[in-house]
Structure 1
Amino acid sequence: MLSIQDVLDYCDLDRGEIEAIAEHEHIPITLAAEMSESLLCSPEGVCRLHVMFQENMQRARARGNFEHVKTLAKAYEHLQRSHPLPGHHH
C-alpha cells in the first residue's frame, strides 16, 4: 500500500498543487495526484490546471477566506514556474 507521501513523491507537482486539484474536483488527494499526472501530459491539461487554481482562489476570496487565498496563490506561483501556460515561457 502506498502512503500519501509515496504518491506525492511520484508526482511532478507539490503537495499544495495536488491539494488544490483535490479541492477543485472534490476528490481525495490520491486521485488528485493521479489526475495531475495526466493533466501535465498535454498543453490543454496544463491550461486546465491553471484554471482550477484561478477558480479555487476566486471561490476562497468570495467566501472571505483570505488565508486560503494566500495558500493557493503560493502554490499557484510554483505551478506557474514549473508548468507555465503553453506559449507563456519566461
Structure 2
Amino acid sequence: MLTYEECLEMSELSADEIAAIAEHEHMDPMIAVALGHYLITHDGEQRIQRFIIDDIERAKRCGDREKQALLNSALQHFIATHPTHQTQQAS
C-alpha cells in the first residue's frame, strides 16, 4: 500500500496545492491527490488554479490573512511549476 507522502510525490503537486483542492472540493486529502494528479495529466491545470483562487477569495472574505497568504504562496508555486497554460490572477 502506498502512503500519502508517496502518492503526493507522484502527483506533481505540492502539499499546499493538494490541501487547496481538498478544501475546495470538500474531500479527504488522499482523494484530492488522485483528483489533482488526474487534472494535471488531463489538461486540468486551469481548474486547479481556479480552485486555489476560489479558496483565496473565500479566505479574504473571512478575513483569514494567514490562510490567504498560504494560498497565495501555493498559487505562485503552482504557476511557477505549471507554466504551460494561461494564468488567472486572484483579486
Taking structure 1 as the reference length, the TM-score comes to 0.88
* Kept after mapping to 2: 8 A contact 1:50/1:85: no
Distance 2:73 2:23 in 1: 15
Residue 66 of structure 1: aligned partner? 65
C-alpha displacement at 1:18, in angstroms?
Answer: 0.5
Note the aligned Cα RMSD (angstroms). 1.4
Residue 40 of structure 1: aligned partner? 40
In structure 2, the CA distance between the partners of 1:87 and 1:65, relative to structure 1 (3 Å rule), is closer
Correspondences of 1:7-26 after superposition (within 5 Å): 7-26=7-26
Over the matched positions of the two proteins, sequence identity in percent amounts to 30
- Post-superposition CA distance 1:23-62 (Å, at most 9, x none): 000000001000011111233x111111111100000000
Hey, which bits of structure 1, 4+ residues long, moved more than 6 A?
none
* Kept after mapping to 2: 8 A contact 1:60/1:69: yes
Gaps of 5+ in 1: none
Please tell me the residue identity of whatever aligns with 2:34: E
Distance 2:86 2:66 in 1: 31
Gaps of 5+ in 2: none
Which has the larger displacement, 79-88 or 26-35? 79-88
Taking structure 2 as the reference length, the TM-score comes to 0.87
Q: How many residues align?
A: 87
Correspondences of 1:48-59 after superposition (within 5 Å): 48-59=47-58
